[in-house]
Chain A
Amino acid sequence: MIKVSPKAKRLLVPIVSVIAGFLVGAIIMLVWSYDPFQAYSSMFESALGSANGIGETIRNATPLIFIAIGFQISSAAGFFNIGLPGQAQAGWLTAIWIGLAFKGLPVYILLPFEIIAGSLAGALVAGIAGWLRAYFGTNEVISTIMLNYIVLYLCQYLHQDVMNKSLRVDTDTTKTVGASGSLRIPWLSEMFGGSRISGGIFLAIIALVIFWFLMKKTTVGFEIKAVGLNPFASRYAGMSDKKNIIISMLLSGAFCGLGGVVQGLGTYQNYFTQTTTLDIGWDGMSVALLGGMSAIGILLASLLFSILKIGGLGMQTAAGIPFEIVSIVIAAIIFFVAISWAVGLLFKEKKSDKTATYIATAETAGRQAANDQQKGGEA
């Protein structure tokens, strides 16, 4: 074990995880006799080697930033929100629908309208799970995962059966939104070699600042953190755990919804039938787990994921590595990143009073057990 300061540990763990992931990916490629150097160089070449590549990487990162923020706000309150795909999907469909239905509105009205409505749709979906947990104690893992499916098929029903036919090209695809309802910015796309990068990235950076400010500087963020860290002490201090769970879920869902909005108004310009829960939801969660509670961490993690995703395409075309191997390599890297807590075991924080804490917690647990016994005896 290497002794480091807690600050250095926070930095070292993700870096070592990423390096270990790349190494394991290299070993996998060597086993199948592919050249890892060529593979990785074509990965970085295609993700970062051209204006278009960089644009696509940023484009891919944009929704992930929103969704990672969403995940972190809920997990700060102790809520494991895995309904991210559903919340993003609700935001996507809502934004596109409004963009198509109110095509005539000027850009300064239509665009905010789409964005706000999309984030409210995400907040609504997440809020249901928060409300269920706060008032009925429903396990959020189950409720959010089921909400993913409810949203998936509800969206299909809405866009195939409810949406006005004039807004669609065919059953599975809507028309594209007009320029006044799109997040694309012509000069920006041009600057990045005609890629699908959009103004969403600016919104994402603003979102990161808001996220930082919310969690560090506001009473709302303080309460969310307090409830997540110690619900008993928070109740004792007069904070409402119910209220905070719901607020954190509404905020979480709003950010996830925005992830869907930028995917719709930025990347695709339309909505089309989804057969499985949205990838960006799951990738966003991985980004959150890698990036931690820090805004910078989320930004860097989203870029890393996007490099892998966009670069993976390059590995296939330039280095001739089959899609399956590319997927395994990317999965290996993500795997290492995801188990970064295990990597964390490599490093020991210098000033550690684990023993003392252990005794304290054991004592508390023991006392609790004794209390329970007493109560049990009376019952």
Chain B
Amino acid sequence: MEKEIKNIIEMRHIVKDFNGFKANNDINLTLRKGEILALLGENGAGKSTLMSILSGLLEPTSGEIYVRGEKVNISGPNVATSLGIGMVHQHFMLAQAFTVLENIILGHETTKGLALDFKTAREKILALSKQYGLAIDPDAKISDITVAQQQRVEILKVLYRGADILIFDEPTAVLTPQEITEFIKIMKNLVKEGKSIILITHKLKEIKESADRVTVIRAGKSIQTVSVADANDEQLAEMMVGHHVNFKLDKDPLNLGKNILEVKDLHVNEDRGTEAVKGLSFTIRGGEILGLAGIDGNGQDELVEAITGLRHVEGGQVVINGQDLTNKPVRQITEAGVGHIPADRQKYGLILQLPLSENIASQTYYKEPYSKHGIMNEQAIREHARELIKKFDVRTTSEQLPASDLSGGNQQKAIIARELDRDADLIIAFQPTRGLDVGAIEYIHSQLLKQRDAGKAVLLVSYELDEILQLSDRIVVLHDGAESGEVKPDQTSETELGLLMTGKNTKKEAAAND
């Protein structure tokens, strides 16, 4: 029976151990020839680790991999390529200044004497692009084409290297709903032409629309593999999370306080001087969570940086607790009552080389009792760190370990401990649960709700619609640096939000589409 169905890939009992943390703990996965297999799991479930093993970026601690029935040892990316395995990463690895053609052949250049043989390469690329319906201009510069087109370039790159097993890592994270539809069509074309696909995702809708089977991974273990036709959303979600999924968290009734944050007609530029936030206005009152939804790169970074003083405000006002803090120094804004959980915890949130205790003190080290007359009191700093580690359940063996020794979830808990401990009136949480495991996510969500119930104003900026819908009292949708709509979470749908995120603000249109 097993012989009948051709399994192109079999991964058996895969274990990957990072210093005692088992990112993969006995995972089994089978990919059949000519199918789309969805790999479903929450952030941190071990999907990316498993696929890194399959594409030769990581070696498993134990377990066996069979490709086309033969046992293989994928010791490096080149081995994976020679086995016909190609991965399209979530974050594209393209040289901006090069053309599509140059990017595709990069690393696999064919030469004629000393010169690059562009002609043969171009013919091959055009043939591939026609065969799989991947329309692209080979001479366009990467910097001039859209994200969706860049993704096609990545796919062509993998096909050009002869891959017939394709792995897509969260391919739709950066795409608009319309581009996602187009992308699903491309995937179907690919399997029609005999390719096999593993699709990593945590979006149930896409699985329903594209995949044949789905393997669910939770906390490093493979839970179950089911045929998509036989499963409904609730079942899949339950398998993924491990308990019955309640899409609404239990929230206390709204108890609004005074205005805490007022953003008035804000204009902010991005690094290159182009306007990124274009006249945005909103207000958050004490006791509510305002969710800011939108696709990555629509001005969220610039907005948060402008509010917290990290970026220059070109026009408009930021008023916190009635105090105009536009373009004031970061420290003054922090002291006015702002706690900021940054999106990039390793770049902004922590100084990885310094001990955890000093990281926890990094917003307060200059104040008593942590220092007096410029001389630091190490004892007080450590004691306070120990206190917060306990209170916020940061898992570490010592407060003196460098922050880099902590896992992502515990790093995030340490940042949250530091930012919430100051009793700030405004909490800005930017992608607060990115890449964290289920337990940490629930903990962080409950902490944010606690702040809301304590009468604080919370600005939640997230690219995860589920997170926004679960936590927010109001949702403002950001598109191209401006507000494209404001909705209530219990009176909206993903469709409406999706449309708003692409800048279509017509309630009627949304209703028609429903």
A interface list, Cβ under 8 A from B: 217-220, 222, 225-226, 229-230, 232-240, 351, 353, 355-357, 359-361, 363-364, 366-367, 369-379
A164 to chain B, nearest CB (A): 42
Which residue of the partner chain, among B272, B334, B352, contacts A238 with CB atoms under 8 Å? B334
Residues of A with C-beta under 8 A to B301: 371
| Residue of B with least CB distance to A379 | B274
Cβ–Cβ < 8 Å partners of A373 in chain B: 92, 94, 96, 147, 150
CA distance A372 to B91 in the complex (A): 11
Residues of B within 8 A of A367 (CB): 91, 344
Residues on B with beta carbons closer than 8 Å to the beta carbon of A218: 371, 374-376
Chain B window 353-380, contacts with chain A (Cβ cutoff 8 Å), 1 for yes, 0 for no: 1100010001101100001001110100
Other A-B contacts than A218-B375, A218-B376, A232-B348, 12 sampled, CB-CB below 8 A, are A217-B376, A217-B378, A226-B354, A236-B348, A238-B330, A360-B346, A364-B347, A371-B296, A375-B270, A375-B271, A376-B143, A379-B274
Name 16 A/B residue pairs within 8 A (Cβ), A-sorted: A217-B375, A218-B374, A222-B376, A232-B348, A233-B347, A237-B330, A238-B334, A238-B363, A353-B19, A355-B58, A357-B404, A359-B58, A364-B347, A366-B89, A375-B276, A379-B272
CA of A366 to CA of B365, assembled, Å: 32
| The 8 A-B residue pairs with the shortest CB-CB distance in the complex, in nearest-first order | A238-B331, A374-B297, A366-B91, A370-B91, A238-B330, A237-B362, A236-B348, A230-B351
Are B19 and A222 closer than 8 Å at their CB atoms? no
Within the complex, the shortest CB–CB distance from B30 to chain A, in Å, comes to 25
- Give which listed residue, A219, A237, A364, A377, contacts B371 with CB less than 8 A: A219
Q: Does residue B93 face the partner (Cβ distance < 8 Å to A)?
A: yes
Q: Which residues of B contact A (CB under 8 A)?
A: 18-19, 52, 58, 89-94, 96, 143, 145-147, 150, 174, 270-272, 274, 276, 296-297, 301, 308, 310, 329-331, 334, 340, 342, 344, 346-354, 358, 362-363, 365-366, 371, 374-376, 378, 404-405, 408, 435, 480
Q: Across the interface, do A235 and B404 meet the contact criterion of CB distance under 8 Å?
A: no
Main SS class of interface, B: loop
Contact between B362 and A233, CB atoms less than 8 A apart: yes
Measured CB to CB, the closest approach of chain B to A214, in angstroms, equals: 10
Contact in complex: B329, A238 (CB < 8 Å): yes
Which of B272, B296, B348, B405 has a CB less than 8 Å from the CB of A353?
B405
Query: Who on chain A is nearest to B302 by CB?
Result: A375
Which residues of B have CB within 8 Å of A355? 18, 58
* Residues of chain B with a CB closer than 8 A to A234's CB: 351
Given contacts A230-B351, A355-B18, A377-B147, is CB(A364)–CB(B296) below 8 Å? no
Contacts A219-B374, A236-B330 given; does A230 touch B347 at CB 8 Å: yes
- Bound-state Cα–Cα, A172 to B244, Å: 89
How far is A236 from B370 in the complex, measured between Cα atoms in Å? 19
> Looking at chain A's contact residues, is the secondary structure mostly helix, strand, loop, or mixed?
helix
Residue numbers in B under 8 Å from A360 (CB-CB): 346, 408
CB distance from B501 to the nearest CB of A (A): 14
A217-B375, A219-B366, A222-B358 given; A375·B297 CB < 8 A: yes
Decide if A222 touches B351 in the complex (CB within 8 Å): no
Bound-complex Cα distance A42 to B329 (A)? 61
Shortest C-beta distance, B400 to chain A (Å), equals: 13
A220 with B274, Cβ < 8 A, contacts A233-B350, A236-B348, A360-B346 known:
no
Neighbouring B residues of A371 by C-beta, 8 Å: 296-297, 301
A285 CA to B397 CA, complexed, in Å: 38
Residue of A nearest to B366 (CB): A219
Q: Is the CB of B297 within 8 A of A229?
A: no
Given contacts A217-B375, A377-B147, A379-B274, contact A229 B348 (CB under 8 A): no
Q: Is the CB of A366 within 8 A of B90?
A: yes
Q: How far is the CB of A271 from chain B (nearest CB, A)?
A: 36
**A369 with B408, Cβ < 8 A, contacts A238-B331, A238-B363, A356-B19 known:** no
Inter-chain contact A232/B405, CB cutoff 8 Å:
no
Instruction: Give bound CA distance, A132 to B271, whole Å.
Output: 21
Chain A neighbourhood of B362, CB < 8 A: 226, 233, 237
